[in-house]
Each structure stands twice: as structure tokens, then as C-alpha cells.
Amino acid sequence: MDDFLEILKYIVPSLVVFATAYLILQKFMDNEYRKQVLLLRKENVNITTPLRLQAYERLILFLERISLTNIVVRVHQPGMTAKILQDVLVQSIQTEYEHNIAQQVYISSTVWGNIRKTKDDLIKMINLAAAQMNDKSTGADLGKQIAAIMMKLEVSPTHATITLLKKEVRQLF
């Protein structure tokens, strides 16, 4: 029994020292892991922030380009019929949208949904204005009809979405 107590005198302090060393090393390793994760996140933010800002810029440019007042002036050619102008307008909006579709990775789903809705609303307005034209209507007639529809709106769909984009950018900083 005396031998057993003698062995315990050496084993118990050793176990206490081992447990203490283990806990200290475990905390140290956890802290080092957290530091590494924070460094990676910081590097990630330094890389993604400029990309996100560029995406917001591109989407605002996209919305400005598909704004009905801008796009009608840009694509209308003298001698165009209303039907041809309608087709060119819709195709231009679709092309611009497809060109910027990858930008959705950098923005919230809510804002991307608004961008997609804005695109769809503009195409609906073009088609609504075109439905009021006859076979002899010119592109200028369609442009005037689109302008009349836009004037009835309190806020242009593109400007409402641009405001939403700007609000989201401000939340980043």
C-alpha cells in the first residue's frame, strides 16, 4: 500500500501538469486558428470589395443604358417602323441584361430581383406602347408613345432600382 501511495505522489502531479499543458496548448492553437481565419477574411475583403464596387458600377451603367429615354434615342434610326424599333429595343435590353448577368454574384438577391423586374417592366412598357401602334406607325411614333407611358409614372423603374443599388452600396461602408 505504501508503494501505491508513493506512485500516486508522482502520478497525480504529473497528470495535473499534463492536463494544464494540454489546455494551454489547446487554447493557443484555437487562438492561432482564429487569427488565421481573420487574416484570410481580411484578404478576401480586400479582393472582393473592389469587385463588388465594380459590379455595382456596371449595374448602374446597365440600368442607365436600358432606361427607355436613353435606349430609344440610342437605337432609333430614321425610317424605322414601330415594329422594327420595338424588336431592336427589346433585343438591346436583353443583350445588355445578358452581358451583365454575372454581376448578380456580387449583389444581394433582393437587388438582383429588382434589376430583373426592371428589365421585364421595361420590355412590357415597350410592348404595351407597340400594341397601340398600327402597321403604318413609325419608330418616332413608338418613341412618343413610350415617352407618354413613362410620363405617367411617378418614378422610372430604372431610377428606382438605381436608388436601391446606391442604398445597398452605402450599407457596405
- In the chain, where the domains are located: 49-172
Q: What is the dihedral of CA 15, 21, 27, 33, to 10 degrees?
A: -120
Specify whether the CB–CB gap between 150 and 89 falls below 8 A: no
Q: Phi/psi of residue 80, each to 5°?
A: -75, 140
Of all residues in the chain, the percent with pLDDT exceeding 70 is 100
Give the tens place of pLDDT for each residue, 41-68: 888 778 888 888 999 999 999 999 999 9
Contacts of 173 (CB under 8 A, 6+ apart): none
CA angle 9, 13, 19 (to 5 degrees): 150
Give the tens place of pLDDT for each residue, 56-113: 999 999 999 999 999 999 999 999 999 999 999 999 999 999 999 999 999 999 999 9
CA distance 142 to 129: 6
Mean pLDDT in residue range 150-166: 93
Other Cβ atoms within 10 Å of 96 Cβ, number: 17
**C-alpha cell belonging to residue 129:** 406602347
53-75 burial, b at 16+ Cβ within 10 Å, e below that, comes to: eebbeebbebbebbbbeebbeeb
CA distance 72 to 112: 24
Which pLDDT score is estimated for 58? 95
**C-alpha cell belonging to residue 33:** 486558428
How many helices (H) does the chain have, and how many strands (E)? 6, 0
Contacts of 76 (CB under 8 A, 6+ apart): 85, 139, 140, 143
Residue bearing cell 406607325: 137
Q: What is the pTM of this model?
A: 0.74
